[in-house]
Amino acid sequence: MTASSFAAVDLGASSGRVVVGRFGDGLTLDVVHRFPNEPVRVGGTLHWDILSLFRGVLDGLRAAGPVDGIGIDSWAVDYGLIDASGALLGNPVHYRDARTDGIAERFGDFYEIAGLQTLPFNTVYQLIAARDTPQYRAAQRLLLVPDLLAYWLTGEIGAEYTNASTTGLLDVRTREWSSSLISDLGLRADLLPPLRQPGEIIGRYEGTPVVAVGSHDTASAIVGVPASGPDFAYISCGTWSLVGLELDRPVLSAASRAANFTNEGGVDSTIRYLRNVMGLWPLQECLREWEISDISSLLAAASEVSSLSHLVDLDDPVFMPPGDMSGRLRKAAGLPAGASPAVITRCILDSLALAHRRAIVQARELSGRDVSVIHLVGGGALNELLCQLTADACGLPVLAGPVEATALGNLLVQARAAGVVDGGLDALRALVRETQRIVRYEPRGDAAAWTAAAARVGR
């Protein structure tokens, strides 16, 4: 393996970081810069502070020093609009903003074309909400967040395929923009840039190649899953839990549509067949409210709370907005006003484990794919209680880690594009298994109790 290093820019909903991966005698990671991602509400609209994020990216690339490539991944669906001069027409709107309320119900889900889970913030609904605005009328191009940042680094315009597949505007079968859908919705096809695939060179920043990776962070995370065969489920767990299977073709059945499963593009022409589950967002909001930064003692206390005593449906839209999360949880779970943080935390984690269970059970049934192991990657892999509860709820072993799966997937695609590593996803994942720490959790406890709990909350 040629000694080389690459910088992964990995942007999440609450923070960003730049990670340097060094390939040589194995693979090592070094987080060289972290920076906050703090949305801003202006005039009643919730925006991303995209210029602050770009400053964080530039600071991180300076901290990285000389590297052989740069790749950018982020969350999906949100975008910036560029005018004829190349200038950004306002800060991108946050997917948690209320401007799309009710639009999905009015316009439908386009499942037969896009194959996507109905979520109110999908790009297609955002564009419908924006199509009568001055910014939309003045725009020349739409750039999803990673593509916008890459444009600012290189001057090159394009849309990376895995992220484009989350917009609701891509035909999941042809893997091209759906001109018929775009026309039927009264949207502008000319806004959508040419597609590019993971591994393509976008351009250069100060002489360094900027590479299109799986720019939807889940697409990169799934590359970093250390699976050794096809019969695995994955959970990319952070603010959201993305729960599903890796397939070679989409599942577009009526049952899949009714179950609200999504078919998103993955690296190497795979399909990420998954459901978005609320994830750790409710706990993150509670921690902010309680002003708790070190959760180790809270999790220890939560582990002593009676199992499955209080449950909620975490996919209920009531938990989507920020603010007074503990109050909403107490009300939904029937908890008293004086319920302790430990009790609320156990309610969240038991409920999240059940949400994981439901998604995996349904994915198996709808796809016909067997599952023998669950790989849980991302920040949630550090939550030992959640990992164990997920194994218990699903009745399957959970392999937790790597925490840095997204950065790893980003770096591996860059390294392969540069000829530093060879092979398909199996070869890339073998390198992850050889170099990263993975913890195994076997199912334990009362399986019947989990089955009964699943019935109580429709899980």
Question: Is residue 28 located within the same domain as residue 155?
Answer: yes
Alpha-helix residue ranges (DSSP H) falling in 155-250 = 161-164, 179-184, 217-223
pLDDT band at 25 (very low <50, low <70, confident <90, very high): confident
Whether pLDDT at 119 is above 90 = no
**Are residues 344 and 266 part of one domain?**
yes
Answer yes or no: do 232 and 151 share one domain: no
Two structure tokens written together for 63: 């901290």
Q: 402: cis peptide before it, omega within 30°?
A: yes
In a domain, residue 140? The reply is: yes
The percentage of residues in the chain with a pLDDT greater than 70, rounded to a whole number, is 99
Same domain as 235, residue 205: no
Range of the domain at 103: 4-215
Residue finishing a domain among 196, 215, 234: 215
Give CA 148 to chain center in angstroms: 18
Closest CA to 107 of 189, 178, 181, 9: 181
Query: What is the largest distance, in Å, between two alpha-carbon atoms of the chain?
Result: 63
For residue range 314-360, what is the model confidence (pLDDT) as tens digits?
999 999 888 999 999 999 999 999 999 999 999 999 999 999 999 99
- How many domains does the chain contain in total? 2
Strand bridging mode 271-277 / 262-265: antiparallel
Are 245 and 175 members of one domain? no
Is residue 410 one of the residues assigned to a domain?
no
Please tell me whether residues 16 and 163 are part of one structural domain. yes
The confidence band for 458, taking pLDDT boundaries of 50, 70 and 90, is low
Q: Are residues 207 and 221 in the same domain?
A: no
- The CATH number given to whatever domain includes residue 363 is 3.30.420.40
Going by C-alpha positions, the residue among 148, 151, 131 that lies closest to residue 139 is: 131
Q: Residues 209, 226: one domain? A: no
Please answer whether residues 164 and 105 qualify as being in contact, where contact means their C-beta atoms are separated by less than 8 angstroms.
Answer: no
**232-266 residues labelled b (16+ CB within 10 A) or e (exposed):** bbbbbbbbbbbbbbbbeebbbeeebbebbbbbbbb
Is residue 420 domain-resident?
Answer: no
pLDDT tens by residue, 286-295: 999 999 988 9
Residue 158's pLDDT band (cuts 50, 70, 90): very high
Mean model confidence pLDDT for the chain: 96
How confident is the model over 163-174, as a mean pLDDT?
Answer: 97
User: What residues are labeled active site?
Assistant: 217
